[in-house]
Amino acid sequence: MTRESAGEPGEDGTVSVVYDLDPACTVSDLEENRPYLAEINGIVDYGVFVDLSESVSGLVHESVLEGTFRVGQPMVVELETIRDNGDVAFEPAGIDADDEYTLESVAHEYDLTGTNRLEAAVGEQIHLEGEVVQVKQTGGPTVFHVADEYGVVPCAAFEEAGVRAYPAAEVGDIVRITGTPEHREGSVQIEVEGLSKLDGDVETDARDRLEEALEARAEPHDVEPLIDWPAFEKLRPDLEAVARRLRETVLEGRPIRVRHHADGDGMCAAVPVQLALERFIADVHEDENAPRHLVKRLPAKAPFYEMEDATRDLNFALEDRARHGQQLPLLLMLDNGSTEEDVPAYETLAHYDIPIIAIDHHHPDPEAVDDLLDAHVNPYLHGEDYRITTGMCCVELARMIYPDLTDELRHIPAVAGLSDRSKADAMEQYLALAADEGYDEDRLKDVSEALDYAAFWLRYNSGDRLICDLLEIDTNEDHHRDLVSFLAERARASVDDQLEAAMPHVEHERLANDAHLYRIDVENYAHRFTYPAPGKTTGEIHDRKITETGDPVITVGYGPDFAVLRSDGVRLDIPNMVTELEAEIPGGGVTGGGHLVVGSIKFVKGKREEVIDALVEKMAAADIDEELSSAAPIDD
Ligand code: MN
């Protein structure tokens, strides 16, 4: 509001209010019996034409005029009528433009069209307000992805081929767009005619409105868990918080990168979450390519976040930001990511705005990682253990994000549990659930074997479609059955070949605590660079030896600079053993970890004998489990 004091106060001594239309105002902003400040833009025999804004102008008829006029002269007018043909007529408001009055500006009342109503508005000009979540410069237009209370829509603005349109508008800005929704390659896109960055109160109001809507839409679905399992209930609030955060991330148009352990449980965790995110993104985004561009799933060979993976992920994220104007991603670590070994990789990412969430069931080091994580879900943090596998957690997580997936996921927790050899009481319920879907235990084991085998050959590829076929999610059954049987058979044949070569070289001794110790040099007495890898080879030898001799059994498969450990019926604490070895063998370069009784250790080649001797000593001193069958997950 401005105050102008030109000339004398009005006749009755009071100061009147005159309204000044913003240049963007249209006829719809006019109100009857209101004085508006206008400017004469033309004089004709039958009157004068006045402008009130860029698009509002009309005639003041000579019959209501007195005196002389010139172009450019201000005049205070009010609305007389809007004719059927759209012509607008004004009349003098009885206030002289030279009088003293208070000038009050009128902003254009935008009739906003939400992204939920675009389809109905195709071909018509609309206004839209939202936050810019991505700015992609193409060889043609600049494409702004704009998020409002309902979704995200691409808005193409053309300046010149390959030239950035509206360079002042950036990711994070609140903008108002005037444009026309059009169909483009199966999606709706807005052809931009005008784009302005909001500021001041208008921006604050819009931001508050968007934030409130986002919060409501991020709310995870309240789904009944697939089975009744009190131990699992402790993790549900944590999983709900992660579901909320992931939905929020989708609504903000931020990419999500999933890194998961490249084994059966890891894939049973990652694939359902990937699908849930993709389907939610498809609902939120008008751009049909958005699911593909915003979620990337990649396996991690080690049970921790390796620097190689982290630096690659970071580099991809920075390239996507530079080339596609994307925001930096949120990183979701699955069946992986909760130990001290993850710290260097996390610290690398911490130099950038990349939030990290880990859902894992490996024995965690919360003191080491929690400061670096935005959220950490792990059964050990609630007094539970590895038996609640990451796949079991993530099936529930996926359902909280996108419950319509439920019917496709009922058999997945059973596959996850069998893959990691979970001895959870709940396995019976999960197996029953899978049986209702036509999966008997043999078929579930086949799926688990086939997954393992495929993961090995996929190496650093995600194998999106192939894994979906193997898990029978988002696919038809024909491929699934044949492929699973074939790969499971191939996997077993490869294991047999490997063990035929390795078994004669397995060395046996009886430890002081009466445990059987089996050792195998997997570097020299097993095939290399083929399936099964050293971890799985050691596990298979271990299983056969348990059948032969019974508990307690420890098996060590070692190479030049690593050892893989499996144990049953012995109370090992591998993470703790690693910490002790680190201190006791200077220059041994000992690192490693994993689950309590299953894990792997690395060391420098020249110290192998010393490290393994010390390791065996610790195993010989370990307590024997009194229960017949201990809880030994398989994992490598
Ligand atoms: Mn696992």
Q: Note the pLDDT tens digit of each residue in 473-519.
A: 888 777 788 899 999 999 999 999 999 999 999 999 999 999 999 99
pLDDT in tens, 198-249: 999 889 999 999 999 999 999 999 999 999 999 999 999 999 999 999 999 9
Compute, in angstroms, the gap from residue 73 CA to the centroid of ligand 1.
Answer: 79
The amino acid present at 249, given as its one-letter code, is: T
pTM of the model: 0.83
Compute, in angstroms, the gap from residue 471 CA to the centroid of ligand 1.
Answer: 16
pLDDT of residue 11: 54
8 Å CB contact between 506 and 542? no
Cα-atom radius of gyration of the chain, to the nearest Å?
Answer: 34
Q: Which CATH superfamily is domain 115-217 in?
A: Nucleic acid-binding proteins (2.40.50.140)
Edge-to-edge strand order for the sheet containing 375-377?
Answer: 295-300, 256-261, 330-334, 356-359, 375-377
Secondary structure of 106-144 as H, E, C letters: ECCCCCECCHHHCHHHCCCCEEEEEEEEEEEECCCCEEE
Residues contacting 33, CB < 8 A, separation 6+: 78, 79
Q: Rounded to 5 degrees, what are φ and ψ at 179? A: -175, -175
Taking alpha carbons only, the member of 511, 515, 508 closest to residue 625 is 515
Rounded mean pLDDT of 149-156? 96
N-term to C-term CA, the chain = 70
Compute, in angstroms, the gap from residue 635 CA to the centroid of ligand 1.
Answer: 7
pLDDT of residue 447: 95
Compute, in angstroms, the gap from residue 147 CA to the centroid of ligand 1.
Answer: 36
What tokens were used for 580? 């002790």
**Cis amide leading into 552 (omega within 30):** yes
Compute, in angstroms, the gap from residue 335 CA to the centroid of ligand 1.
Answer: 5
Compute, in angstroms, the gap from residue 612 CA to the centroid of ligand 1.
Answer: 26
Return the higher-pLDDT residue of 355 and 528: 355
Return the higher-pLDDT residue of 179 and 86: 179
pLDDT of residue 107: 83
Return the higher-pLDDT residue of 627 and 312: 312
The CATH classification number of 506-629 equals: 3.10.310.40
Compute, in angstroms, the gap from residue 572 CA to the centroid of ligand 1.
Answer: 18
pLDDT of residue 630: 43
Q: Characterize the bridge pairing of strands 101-106 and 57-61.
A: unpaired
What stretch(es) of the chain map to CATH 3.10.310.40? 506-629
pLDDT of residue 598: 83
Give domain 2-107's CATH architecture.
Beta Barrel (2.40)
Whole-number Cα distances in Å, 595 to 122, 171, 413, 459: 57, 42, 19, 23
What stretch(es) of the chain map to CATH 2.40.50.140? 2-107, 115-217
Compute, in angstroms, the gap from residue 63 CA to the centroid of ligand 1.
Answer: 88
pLDDT of residue 524: 95
pLDDT of residue 635: 47
Compute, in angstroms, the gap from residue 288 CA to the centroid of ligand 1.
Answer: 33
Instruction: Kindly report the average pLDDT of the chain as a whole number.
Output: 92
Compute, in angstroms, the gap from residue 388 CA to the centroid of ligand 1.
Answer: 9
What stretch(es) of the chain map to CATH 3.90.1640.30? 230-439
pLDDT of residue 627: 56
Compute, in angstroms, the gap from residue 361 CA to the centroid of ligand 1.
Answer: 6
Q: Does domain 230-439 have CATH number 3.90.1640.30?
A: yes
Compute, in angstroms, the gap from residue 463 CA to the centroid of ligand 1.
Answer: 19
